Amino acid sequence: MIVMLISETSEKEASALYRVARDKAAIYTEEKWDWIYCNTIEKLNEQLEAETPVDMYCLDITMKNAIEVIIKLRKNTPDAYMILIAEPRISPLVYMRPSIHAESLMLRPLSMSQIQSVLDEAVSQMADRLQQGTENTFTVECRGEKSRFYYHQIAYFEAREKKVFLNTGDEEYGFSDTLDRLNEELDDMFIRVHRSFLVNKKKIRNIYLSQNRMVLDDDVEIPLARSYKPAIKEFMEGRKEDDRSKSQKLDSIL
């Protein structure tokens, strides 16, 4: 899934941006797109705190304190495509900085030709990125519609009802496949913990070997099968070693 966030004070301009982006997305990509609209700096801050993975931003820098929030958004999502909306009265020194690293710029007053031109280039480049950056993504196709997910968005895969379901914590998407094949094909970020579950290692919060269960982020409980405990113990030892290494590095810095 591609997520585009539009932060724009003018509802008329936001509506135009959405319509054009939607049309360009249909032309250049086959993935499913989701849209987020923020018309105030408070809502933009809420998105920042929610840490929702976003692939493309269209951000109005004329909002009060917008630059500070945009810098944080860039830090949280360094690979996102960023479009800024500015005004001629604002010096480029304010927003043309490495900590923001915007790929495109629109200047008010926004004309339809400007919106069309900028979004055509932005969405086409986004499509190129999708084709080139598939090694850290997983694509689900259902009823002819494709949804693409970065590995860090996926909490776990579950096999049930003769299908596999990708779960993000908030939503799930069913498709035809097997966990055996996914276990072989996917990045080692994932670990098999049960015949019906393949889990993202980075989402694991607690492991209870004696209780045959583990807890992921957002308090999601996953069963742990006895036959997979050796692999889980090895994973736990590796994580402890990483923690010790990080602690030693911190001590050397201090």
Report pLDDT digits (tens) over 56-100. Answer: 999 999 998 999 999 999 988 888 899 999 999 999 999 999 999
pLDDT for 9: 83
Helix (H, G, I), strand (E, B) or coil at 237: helix
Give me the mean pLDDT over the 228-244 stretch.
Answer: 85
**Res 104 pLDDT > 50:** yes
pLDDT for 254: 41
Count Cα neighbours of 230 within 13 Å in the Cβ-side half-sphere. Answer: 1
Report pLDDT digits (tens) over 170-207. Answer: 889 999 999 999 999 887 899 999 999 999 999 999 99
CA angle 137, 142, 143 (to 5 degrees): 145
Res. 105 pLDDT band, cuts 50 70 90: very high
**Res 165 pLDDT > 70:** yes
pLDDT for 253: 43
User: Please, what is the angle between helix 66-76 and helix 41-50, to 10°?
Assistant: 20
